[in-house]
Structure 1
């Protein structure tokens, strides 16, 4: 199949949508498909990218709208650039966004006579504090737009139950397919965390806790740090690595206590090593859909200690590959101590790795191929 994926964020940007899109492209190409990515330009993008077509962006516009620093705002291409893009022979168009990228996907699909698949990745209302307008105004704009967009496409997918609930709340009552994000299981199974531990002077026998992700207000990181402090009061040998970057980093780092190290961002190719170095992964966020970092932690045999959320309930089988707790420091600290107890940690690590098999890239790519085949067949029948 000739597949066009239209996305408002792509590597080298560091976020779950960019990562999962790149993985799906890799998996689909391995199955023999022609995958074309239409994505925003990025100052750190490689000089030569096979099958990636970059569109103009505005970092100033993105900042004005409150977007993350690593998230350029894509601009609508003019007729000259559009005429140079390989669009007319596309058989399926897939978009990750209901706004500009989604509108481009709809227009390009009409040009090619192709069906459109939409994956709803983002709980937009969790990020309205970034927008330069009152939340009630943003909400009044976002909800009807997302619902209307979902009604215009041929298939709607969601990586987790939280997104299905969101779409229903927004007023979309059509069919939504639960479609989890992928992980390159082999890369995480082969990873060794010794180098990461050595870099941060953490001996092999010291229990290491890790958070990996964006450092921003919606991640509830203050609660996470307090939870770690309370757990460390019982087990002073514990260490915490906070991996990532974001607007909250400086403030969090200034008030963190002994045993906590902020590493800054890591290149994606080192993420398997980082997660393999950890004994447990902790998150206090309640805004996640189905975060790549949590799936990747499971693939690296790192059990999860997570605040109660739809994403945590999707991923965690209580007491086996992790634990779900009320998002308070005391409850998360108790969950961390429970998970790190020597008598159960090894069993939970094995269960974590086993539970990640369902997200393996080869299986997820085959499932996405099937979705495309179904919508393509449906389009042909309607003709």
Structure 2
């Protein structure tokens, strides 16, 4: 099967959409499919083009068996509002001729990954001109998020943007998204039920698993043996409500046996560094290599999943899959009736967003109850193995996307559909 993936974010970006688009393309190529990707140069989450790609225009490379076509884009130093819109539009414009060129390759499926809804028209057009299945995959509802978080303002502008979004989505043969609540959102937007598919993010449960011994990171950070680590690992963006973590750490300074580790990068770095200054129980780590992810997540005794209330159920944080697979309990800031709340309630604690006091209490509760931590960690791991394992999820997608009569990958021993 010939598969064209149209995703502004792509490997070697280590987090978010780039990570998942990269893993998907490489998995499909390894299964024998012919895979091409049209993407921007890596720039996320630092919001700066990778030095290995800087200064170049259009590029073509082969990464782990995948034919990757790069189109340049404008990357603002301080993304937000109109700048973010122009950023996405710049890629939609520069990538358009690259996408049209793929028509002569005659793909069977064109998968357009959103956000970057600005790219949806060209993804749809390329599919139609190729006679391919037009598939739109929604990683988050960027229009809703932009207005709910006041990145964009204006009632008429919002109504027009949502109208355009609905028209675009309805034009695709298939529209998928990553969670049950987000599937409900697609229904509410008027998408045909027959076109909607659940296509969740995944985790490599073999690469990220409960550790048999102490993580290497404990020695690297100089943490004492009895120290309990409360870990946030992910993108440092506005949707994460990250400044809540230093506030909780400040409240718990009287507990020298608790250390907060915040790992990642993003636009909130200056604010997070300023808020953490003078707090000896807070350790900031830059993004870590992919091959050390298991050790990083296994360092946690408790995972933190902070989230802005404005983005609830419009996004499902990709970092959640690794937290669950590591077999550690999670404390999440969200409402109980959200998708995140339903998942975390099974394997951790859910507290209201923006409440440092209640978040600190939830952290203390788990830190001081080792038996509860162990039981919740087992539940987290079981959920990951049952619902988030990488191979079954990608195999199901490839079967659904395949046109009749095309060659399909064969399930390996032990894989289930």
Band of TM-score, shorter chain: 0.7 to 0.9
**Does the CA contact (< 8 Å) of 2:73 and 2:94 recur in 1?**
no
In the alignment, structure 1 residue 115 sits paired with structure 2 residue 137: no
1:283 Cα offset (Å)? 1.9
Who is 1:33 aligned against? 33
Q: Which among 348, 359, 363 is matched to residue 332 of structure 1?
A: 359
Unaligned runs of 5+ in 1: none
In the alignment, structure 1 residue 66 sits paired with structure 2 residue 94: no
Q: How does 1:360-379 map to 2 (within 5 A)?
A: 360-373=389-402, 376-377=403-404
45-54 or 179-188, which moves further after superposition? Answer: 45-54
Who is 1:200 aligned against? 221
Q: Which among 384, 400, 403 is matched to residue 356 of structure 1?
A: 384
**Does the CA contact (< 8 Å) of 2:103 and 2:129 recur in 1?**
no
Question: Residues 26 and 203 from structure 1, CA distance in 2 versus in 1: closer, same or farther, beyond 3 angstroms?
Answer: farther
More helix per residue: 1
The whole-number CA distance in structure 1 between the counterparts of 2:405 and 2:159 is 33
1:36 Cα offset (Å)? 1.6
The whole-number CA distance in structure 1 between the counterparts of 2:230 and 2:318 is 17
Who is 2:57 aligned against? none
The whole-number CA distance in structure 2 between the counterparts of 1:79 and 1:308 is 39
Question: How many correspondences in the alignment?
Answer: 373
Deviation string for 1:259-305 (max 9, x for gaps)? 11111222333322211111111122042622221110111112211
Who is 1:11 aligned against? 11
1:169 Cα offset (Å)? 4.7
Deviation string for 1:72-126 (max 9, x for gaps)? 9524347875565475321111111262332221111112201111111113232
155-164 or 186-195, which moves further after superposition? Answer: 186-195
Question: Residues 298 and 204 from structure 1, CA distance in 2 versus in 1: closer, same or farther, beyond 3 angstroms?
Answer: farther
Question: Residues 255 and 60 from structure 1, CA distance in 2 versus in 1: closer, same or farther, beyond 3 angstroms?
Answer: closer
Higher relative contact order (CA 8 A, sep 6+): 1
Secondary structure of 1:188's aligned partner: coil
Who is 1:302 aligned against? 328
Q: How does 1:1-383 map to 2 (within 5 A)?
A: 1-42=1-42, 43-44=49-50, 48-49=62-63, 50-60=65-75, 63=79, 65-67=82-84, 73-77=90-94, 81=98, 85=102, 87-97=104-114, 99-124=117-142, 125-128=144-147, 134-136=153-155, 138-172=157-191, 174-175=193-194, 176-189=196-209, 194-230=215-251, 232=252, 235-256=255-276, 257-285=279-307, 286=309, 287=311, 289-309=315-335, 310-316=338-344, 318=345, 320-327=346-353, 328-340=355-367, 341-357=369-385, 358-373=387-402, 376-377=403-404
**Does the CA contact (< 8 Å) of 1:10 and 1:21 recur in 2?**
yes
Q: TM-score, normalised by structure 1?
A: 0.85
Secondary structure of 1:157's aligned partner: strand
The whole-number CA distance in structure 2 between the counterparts of 1:184 and 1:149 is 33
The whole-number CA distance in structure 1 between the counterparts of 2:112 and 2:405 is 18
**Does the CA contact (< 8 Å) of 2:4 and 2:36 recur in 1?**
yes
Unaligned runs of 5+ in 2: 43-48, 54-60, 407-417
Secondary structure of 1:187's aligned partner: coil
Deviation string for 1:330-350 (max 9, x for gaps)? 222222223222232122222
Question: Residues 29 and 21 from structure 1, CA distance in 2 versus in 1: closer, same or farther, beyond 3 angstroms?
Answer: same
**Does the CA contact (< 8 Å) of 2:260 and 2:283 recur in 1?**
yes
Who is 2:413 aligned against? none
Deviation string for 1:310-344 (max 9, x for gaps)? 3413532x2x4222222222222222223222232
The whole-number CA distance in structure 2 between the counterparts of 1:343 and 1:132 is 43
The whole-number CA distance in structure 2 between the counterparts of 1:130 and 1:116 is 30
Q: TM-score, normalised by structure 2?
A: 0.79
1:128 Cα offset (Å)? 4.5
Question: Residues 343 and 7 from structure 1, CA distance in 2 versus in 1: closer, same or farther, beyond 3 angstroms?
Answer: same
The whole-number CA distance in structure 1 between the counterparts of 2:71 and 2:257 is 49
RMSD: 3.1
